[in-house]
């Protein structure tokens, strides 16, 4: 395996692990919040919405970090390409 192939492989493994981590986080989020919702309904109070929304914000941030901003991601690649084009346009050489 040549050097570029190795770095590509490392990036692929890193992105796959990040995506798997997000899926695990989302699964735990759903299971725990379903349990808390059941307890909340059984107690006659609706307290479970607070941890749901708080944790949901964290899950959304995790999603953005993995699916939008990860190295090699589509969004990040478009930003890098845009910056590369701007820098090349200014280059006097």
Give residue-wise pLDDT tens across range 11-63.
Answer: 888 889 999 999 999 999 999 999 999 999 999 999 999 999 999 999 999 99
Q: How far is CA 80 from the centre of its chain?
A: 18
DSSP 5-72: HHHHHHHHHHHHHHHHHHHHHHHHHHHHHHHHHHHHHHHT--TTHHHHHHHHHHHHHHHIIIIISSTT
Taking the C-alpha atoms of residue 67 and residue 80, their distance in angstroms, rounded to an integer, is 16
pLDDT for res 59 = 98
Q: Residue 77: pLDDT band by 50, 70, 90 thresholds?
A: confident
More confident residue, 76 or 35: 35
Taking the C-alpha atoms of residue 46 and residue 77, their distance in angstroms, rounded to an integer, is 43
pLDDT for res 4 = 63
pTM, two decimals, is 0.75
């Amino acid at each position: 395996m040549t050097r570029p192939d190795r770095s590509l492989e490392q990036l692929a493994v890193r992105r796959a692990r990040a995506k798997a981590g997000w899926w695990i986080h989302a699964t735990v989020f759903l299971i725990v919040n379903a349990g808390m919702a059941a307890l909340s309904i059984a107690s006659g109070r609706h307290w479970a919405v607070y941890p749901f929304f708080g944790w949901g914000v964290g899950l959304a941030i995790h999603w953005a970090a993995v699916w939008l901003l990860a190295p090699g991601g589509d969004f990040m690649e478009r930003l890098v390409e845009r910056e590369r084009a701007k820098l090349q346009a200014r280059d006097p050489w």
